[in-house]
Every structure is written in structure tokens, then in C-alpha cells.
Amino acid sequence: MKLTVKILVLAGAIVIALAAGYWWGRGGEPITFKERGEGAVAPETAAQPAERKILYYRNPMGLADTSPAPKKDSMGMDYIPVYEGEEPQGNAVKITVDKLQKLGVKTEAVSMRQLVHTVRAVGIMEADERRVYTIAPKFEGWIEKLYVNSTGAAVKQGQALMETYSPELVSAQQEYLIAWKGTRSLRSGTTDVQAGMQQLAQNSLERLRNWGISEDQLERLRTDRQVRRELTLSSPVDGIVLEKPAVQGMRFMPGEVLYKLADLSTLWLITKIFEQDLGMVRPGQTASIIVNAFPGAVFKGKVAFVYPTLDPQTRTAQVRIELPNPRGVLKPAMYANVTLSIPHSTQAVLSVPDSAVIDTGTKQLVLIERGEGLYEPRQVKLGMRVEGYVEVLEGLSAGEKAVVAANFLIDAESNLKAALGSFGGDAKQESPDAHAGH
């Protein structure tokens, strides 16, 4: 009897020990008998987000160097991971949407535009050299009376400037009268004698004419037959008195300048154009001119002449612009701002903003958006750069979207140099497998 009890107690202990071990092995979870089958209940687990797969690590400076494992470059910068879906696809590079937003990428359509180049310069107004005159008598004399006695006075053509006395003028008048009287007294003489006297009279008049005596004064001499002590010198043009050395009562010698006159109805504007713009400046082009004296007013002139020499110090050449000045409001020596708007061509040309161009030093590239974060580098041939735009001769088509902002950031972010391998660039994208043995 006692043996049976001992056996039962031992068996119960064994069962309890086995149950405790099973419970301990399950981490303290309640024991259930529905471990399998349709009624089995699986413990609840939280859903974990799928991690993106890192394909390789690229050089942070955009060099064509990759690594299958994290590393640092020679300056201690960490290599940047390239995740699945961000790797270059053929000749294009791919950027995720969140990175595009961070970079601030902007695009603009490649389109046809009328490119107008604007040349800006400053200049100084001068009197038209072809409209400047001097009053310099060809004879010796004295100024008896001045009619125009102030610098800056306006004069009209034919207006009297001064009365002069000259013994030579008096002698020439007397010679004419003697010859005229001789012609009348020798009417009965031979033909040769009459012709000689007429020639003497004509020579006297011609001498007066060559000395600048006006035709109306000569006509008066022929009509009145009287010698006049003073003769008048008149203005040959409409203009302004620029200089007046003449003083009443002074003696003057042949060729001495007594007045300097200028017709200011047309002015010259002399401006300096930089060497790189000279090829676009031609006679006949319209210029817009602004002067400080009349804010908001725009005067129009035309390029008349491009001077044939270049200043080696400033690398500029002078350009002459003819400027109408009918009201006389513009003055010589005024400073002016000049604008020349020069069309690049008579027709619209294919162009992109100049900010879209990436210049590698040996070639020019433009990033073209292909959708879904794909950007294709396109080698282009460029023409003239005008006012923020550049002409595209080869490489692009109208309607394509070019990246105009953050294109250099895309270059750095996507290792663009590796994607340019198909252009024969210096850099080639190495596959991650190439470093497996490193």
C-alpha cells in the first residue's frame, strides 16, 4: 500500500515538473491546448514599414566613385547612399519627389523667341562739326560797331554781326567806280579799250565778293555809285554764338577769328562701346537717349558712324550718334545714357534661359525633364546670349522642359557626371559589383 502511494506521488511530481518546464519555455504565456488546427490563435504583431534597399554609396562631391559599404572620402565626408529607384537609368538621372521639393527644381519650356540684345553706354553731347562756322575776315581792318555783342546769342542767316572799316575795302570800291566811269567815257573808243575797262570793274567787284562782302552791298554799290567807309559782315547760318573774341573798336588781321557760330539743331552724341558689343553696332540703328536734365523724357537718335580705332586702355571704340534738337533743349557737353536695342535676327530663334545651361568647360549641357523625377542631360550647341536667354543651335526641340533652377543641385544629388558617360565624358559610373573585391 505504501509502495503504491509513493509511486502515485512520484508520478504527480513528474507531471507537475513537466508542466512547469513547458510553461517556462513559452515565456510565461498561458498554457492552451489549441496550439494547432482551425482554432489556433497566433499572437498579434505590429506591422513594420518596409525599409528601402541601399544599392551602393556614391562620392559626396559627385565624383565617379562608388562603394558597396559606407565610407568617407579624403576630406572626411560620408559617402551618400543611393536607394533602389534612385539609380541612374540609362542616360537619365532619377530624383525622388521629396528631394525634388527640397531642391526647389523649376523648369521652363524651350521655345521660339525674338532675341533683342541691349547695349548700354554713356556719352557726351557735342556740336555737329559740320555745322560749326567761324567769322574770320580775309582783310585787315577795324571793328566800328558790334551788332551781336554777347556769347550765347542766337543769330539768323544774313543777320548783321558788325560794321568794319578797311582801307582795302575802300580802295576796291573806288577802283570799281573809276572803271565804271571809264567805261562810260570811252564809249566811242575801240572795242579792246571798252572790254578792258569792263574787266577792271568786274575784277573790283569780284575782289569785294571774295573778301566776304554780301551781294546786297555789291548791288547797292552798282546802283548808288557811292563809296562806303564801313561795310557789314553778316552771319552765314542760323546758330548760336559759341565764342566772341570780337570787341568794338579792335583791330583785326586777316584770318583772325572774330566769332565762332554753331547750328545746334542737330547734335552729336559721342559714346564709347565695349569691344565685345562692337560687332552688333551699325550705322542707321536707333538709339534711345536719356539726360539728367529731363527725367522721364526719351530722345531718339541714329548711329551715324563707328570710329575706326579702339582705345587699348578701356577696350572701347567711339560711336557717333546724330541727335535732332529742333527745340534747342539739349546742350553741348551734356552727359547722356544711351540704350541700343539690337534684334539678334529678323525671325524668332529657339532659346532657353541661360540659367538652364551647365558649362562643364568642354561642353554645354541642359537638363531636360522626362517626367516621374527623370532628368536627361542633353549636350547642346549654343549661339548668342541675349538678356537672360541663350540661342540653342542644336540639341533641343521646342516644347521640351528644361531645368532652370537647382540644376547644379541635381548634378550633385544624382551624380550627374556618371550619367554623362554616354557623352564620352571623363567620368564613368562604376557598378557596385566593381567594388566587391575591395
Q: CB–CB of 269/124 below 8 Å?
A: yes
The domain defined by 89-114+348-414 folds into: 2.40.420
Residues 36 and 218: their CA atoms lie apart, in Å, by: 143
* SS3 per residue for the chain: CHHHHHHHHHHHHHHHHHHHHHHHHCCCCCCCCCCCCCCCCCCCCCCCCCCCCEEEEECCCCCCCEECCCCECCCCCECEEEECCCCCECCEEECCHHHHHHHCCEEEECEEECCEEEEEEEEEEEECHHHEEEECCCCCEEEEEECCCCCCCEECCCCEEEEEECHHHHHHHHHHHHHHHHHHHCCCCCHHHHHHHHHHHHHHHHHHHHCCCCHHHHHHHHHHCCCCCEEEEECCCCEEEEECCCCCCCEECCCCCCEEEECCCEEEEEEEEEHHHHHHCCCCCEEEEECCCCCCCCEEEEEEEECCCCECCCCEEEEEEEEECCCCCCCCCCEEEEEEEEECCCCCEEEEEHHHEEECCCCEEEEEEEECCEEEEEEEEEEEEECCEEEEEECCCCCCEEEEECHHHHHHHCCHHHHHHHHCCCCCCCCHHHHCCC
Sign (positive or negative) of CA dihedral 172, 177, 178, 179: positive
Q: Which CATH number fits domain 120-128+263-343: 2.40.110.10, 1.10.150.80, 2.40.30.170, 3.40.50.2300?
A: 2.40.30.170
Radius of gyration of the chain (CA): 50
| Rounded-to-10 torsion of CA 215, 220, 226, 232 | -50
| Location of C-alpha cell 579702339 | 310
| Location of C-alpha cell 583772325 | 256
pLDDT of residue 38: 43
pLDDT of residue 374: 77
Q: In 10 A of CB 56, how many CB atoms?
A: 20
Residue 228, C-alpha cell as written in the block: 562806303
Residues 415 and 60: their CA atoms lie apart, in Å, by: 8
How far apart, in Å, are the Cα atoms of 249 and each of 143, 212, 252? Answer: 5, 20, 10
Residues 291 and 283: their CA atoms lie apart, in Å, by: 22
Residues in a beta bridge with 154: 240
Mean pLDDT of the chain: 78
Angle value at C-alpha 13, between 10 and 15, nearest 5 degrees: 110
pLDDT in tens, 325-358: 999 899 999 999 999 988 777 788 888 888 888 8
pLDDT of residue 13: 59
Q: What is the largest CA-CA distance in the chain?
A: 205
- Select from 365, 397, 434, 353 the least CA-distant residue to 92: 365
Q: Has this prediction a pTM greater than 0.75? A: no
Angle of helix 191-210 relative to helix 167-185, nearest 10 degrees?
A: 160
Parts of the chain with a pLDDT under 70 = 1-50, 60-65, 84-104, 186-190, 193-194, 372, 406-438
pLDDT of residue 46: 46
pLDDT in tens, 98-150: 666 556 678 888 888 888 888 999 999 999 999 999 999 999 999 999 999 99
